[in-house]
Amino acid sequence: MDLKKIIIFASMSILLFSTGLKAETEKECFEKVSRSIFKFNKGFDKAILKPLAIGFNKLPEPIKAGTGNFTSNIGTLLTVPNHILQGQWRLAGESSASFLINSTIGILGFSNPAKKMGLKNQQEDIGQTLGAYGFNAGCYFVLPVLGPTTVRDTIGIVADSFVDPFAHVTIREHELLSMSGSEMDYFSIKGASAIDFRADNMTNLDSLEKNSLDMYAALKSLYLQNREKKISNTFSSKDDDGWDELNK
């Protein structure tokens, strides 16, 4: 790890712990700045991401599905070590098997035969692993282009690049099992993944924007709830969610 990375990691750690482990996750780090970045991201979406997603949606269904499967399969490489770090051995096994089957029988991951075999492949990352270890999310903010995050999840994004074997062979340009790649490969996959996500949610994001009084707050709430759910690996929302108080 070079000095620059250590400084970034240390800064993030200070920010995380300065919020206190019991801090409210809804707390903003710097709301005004985040709202400005959110506006920028909306402009970026309107000018670049959305037009690309519209074009992507016009592609034949097999190409769209294949792209989604391919990027998702590569994402499994990050999922497996995180399952292991969380002691989820069965899920780590299932994800590994899913990756091997899809990469071979599934023709480099463009097809998803593992799913038909009943193998689960949920996405995991270091942010979730830190959450599972009990680290509080820290305050919330918005990153340019990348979107909603928290201090913990931002540390996770940086740490992901050290844990993810795909990042290892691409952005770090190390060889692994005789495979290697380049930064371009890494960012191409991340870009394709973002376009695939945007294309899948075209109507729904438009609808959310149209029906929100404060879209920034709505997305923040959805993001934080989603991360909480992924960390606890539970489907249900909290039993009362404040409703019982209403009946008093």
Partner 1 sequence: MKKLINSLVFISLILISTKSFSYNSDPKIFIDELVTDAIKILGDKNISKADKSKKIENIALENVDISALGMYTLGSIRKTLDQNNLERYKDLFEKYFIKSLTSRLTDYSDQKFEVLNADQKSETYTIVSSKIIESSSQPEIKINWRVYTKDSAKPLIRDLIVEGLSLAKTQKEEFSSILNSNNNDINILFFKLEEFINN
| Contact with partner 1 (CB under 8 A) among 60, 87, 134, 242 | 242
Contact set for partner 1, span 9-68 (CB under 8 A): 26, 61
* Euclidean distance between CA atoms 85 and 88, whole angstroms: 8
Task: Give the single-character DSSP code of 176.
Answer: B
| Contact with partner 1 (CB under 8 A) among 33, 48, 108, 217 | 217
- Minimum CB separation of residue 174 from partner 1 in Å reads 31
In one letter, which amino acid is 222? L
In one letter, which amino acid is 7? I
**Which of these ranges, 40-48, 79-87, 89-97, 196-204, lies near partner 1 under the rule CB under 8 A?**
196-204
C-beta of 139 vs 169, nearer to partner 1: 139
- Number of neighbouring beta carbons within 10 Å of residue 97: 15
Question: Does 248 contact partner 1 by CB under 8 A?
Answer: no
* Euclidean distance between CA atoms 65 and 84, whole angstroms: 29
- Minimum CB separation of residue 168 from partner 1 in Å reads 26
Q: Which candidate, 190, 197, 207, places its Cα nearest to that of 64?
A: 197
Are 142 and 34 in contact by the 8 Å Cβ rule? The answer is yes
Question: Does 134 contact partner 1 by CB under 8 A?
Answer: no
Question: Does 110 contact partner 1 by CB under 8 A?
Answer: no
Q: Which candidate, 209, 219, 196, places its Cα nearest to that of 54?
A: 196
C-beta of 2 vs 239, nearer to partner 1: 239
* Euclidean distance between CA atoms 80 and 119, whole angstroms: 13
Q: Report the interface residues with partner 1, using CB under 8 A.
A: 26, 61, 197, 200-201, 203-205, 207-208, 210-214, 216-218, 220-223, 225-226, 229, 234-237, 239-244, 246-247
